[in-house]
Structure 1
Amino acid sequence: MTTAHGFSRRAFLGATGATGLLAACGNGVGSNGAAQIDARVVSTEQYLYSSFPGTRDLASRAAGVLIMPLITEAGLIYGGGYGRGALRVNGVTVDYYSATRATFGLQIGAQQYAHALFFMTESALGQFRRSPGWAAGADVRYATPAQGASIGKETTEIEPVIALVFGQQGFIAGATLTGVKYNRIIP
């Protein structure tokens, strides 16, 4: 049966099921605020730098680094993702951000991962901080965890933003940061 808006009950149930699955995952929603986000960010940052040594050098050259310790995504045709993290400048948290994503299409599954955005220019960092809702787009260069040992030395040209996704658990076919929207939050 199709509703007046063209959605079937099955599609509606699939979307609400994905939302329920997403809500059941421990991604920091309803947490103790800034202290818990900071603890997760510091732990993730330490893991990142010890597991992928080149990222420490990359961070030292970056104007700022957004660390997202845990993004949870789930989907069954309709899907979504959510997580919270912190923007660090010179090793100090300056702002907190949420990352959200809504998707529709060929997808099934759930996954959790961490990621970091290295803002390599003051201009890119300023644009991110001034934006009421910044979305990962074509100006983001993706690095793989396999490049983690050498990425800091490989990146000689100035890229505005370098993204590294790591610590992935679970699986959703075709998952990327494309379409993830970042918004400043007050935890």
Structure 2
Amino acid sequence: MTRRSMIVMGGAGFALAACGNGIGTNGGPTIDARVDETRNYLFNRYPGTRELAGKAYGVLYMPLVTEAGFGIGGAFGRGSLRINDATVDYYSAAKATIGFQIGAQQYAHALFFMTQDALTEFRRSPGWAAGADLKYATPEQGASLGKDTTEISPVIALVFGQSGLIAGATLSGTKYTRIIP
């Protein structure tokens, strides 16, 4: 495999990731409507998340993230940060991956900021990369997440609503950037 073919495949992966998530059509009202639907789905499907959101200083909802990869891949989505259930900012999430992978998927995720410091750091940064402060939870934990708030990490990520299939082992990073829709 040549370097040129790797670049072409990476570009194709990112282009596929951008398809179907409404790039260019996501004004503030559209993002907010999708966030409302996502939040309602999350609370109804995983009741413990309602309590978790109530204890969080802020929640970033990403209603639709599209990911694709073939060797090199990427993902992209847009969402909004809510404090006291009111939108205060809009964000994009961009993810790059490299490694053995093939496929495409779509999913939603929410970041629960459990401390004021974590929320402040997120909002002040020009681009926040998910790192060591992030604890991932599975949808099965969603029913009981709100009960464990005394042992919680500063930021909890819950990925849910997956569709599609992607397989492999990759190195990746996700960067969240404030946007103006």
Q: Number of residue pairs matched? A: 181
- Cα deviation, residue 13, structure 1: 3.4
- Which residue of the partner structure matches residue 124 of structure 1? 118
Superposed CA deviations along residues 97-130 of structure 1, whole A, max 9, x for unmatched, are 0000111111110010000000000000000000
Moved more, 76-85 or 157-166: 157-166
* C-alpha distance in structure 2 between counterparts of 1:177 and 1:64, whole Å: 28
- Letter of the structure 2 residue corresponding to residue 75 of structure 1: G
| Residue identity (%) | 66
* C-alpha distance in structure 1 between counterparts of 2:36 and 2:15, whole Å: 29
The answer (yes or no) to whether the contact 2:31–2:80 under 8 Å persists in 1 is yes
* C-alpha distance in structure 1 between counterparts of 2:109 and 2:26, whole Å: 21
* C-alpha distance in structure 2 between counterparts of 1:117 and 1:84, whole Å: 13
Computing the radius of gyration from Cα coordinates, the structure with the larger value is: 1
1:168 corresponds to which of 139, 145, 162: 162
**How well do the aligned residues superpose, as a CA RMSD in angstroms?**
1.9
TM-score (structure 1 length as normaliser): 0.90
Structure 2: segments with no counterpart, 5+ residues: none
Q: State the SS of the aligned residue for 1:148.
A: helix
Bigger share in strand? 2
- Cα deviation, residue 177, structure 1: 10
Which structure 2 residues correspond to residues 89-128 of structure 1 after superposition, within 5 A? 89-128=83-122
1:143 corresponds to which of 133, 137, 141: 137
* C-alpha distance in structure 2 between counterparts of 1:12 and 1:150, whole Å: 43
Superposed CA deviations along residues 22-80 of structure 1, whole A, max 9, x for unmatched, are 23x21120114101000000010000000000000000000000000000010000111
The answer (yes or no) to whether the contact 1:136–1:177 under 8 Å persists in 2 is no
* C-alpha distance in structure 2 between counterparts of 1:49 and 1:177, whole Å: 31
- Which residue of the partner structure matches residue 177 of structure 2? 183
- Cα deviation, residue 176, structure 1: 9.2
* C-alpha distance in structure 2 between counterparts of 1:175 and 1:181, whole Å: 19
- Which residue of the partner structure matches residue 39 of structure 2? 45
- Letter of the structure 2 residue corresponding to residue 73 of structure 1: E
- Letter of the structure 2 residue corresponding to residue 70 of structure 1: L
- Which residue of the partner structure matches residue 20 of structure 1? 15
TM-score (structure 2 length as normaliser): 0.93
- Letter of the structure 2 residue corresponding to residue 157 of structure 1: E
- Cα deviation, residue 14, structure 1: 2.0
Runs ≥4 residues deviating over 6 A:
none
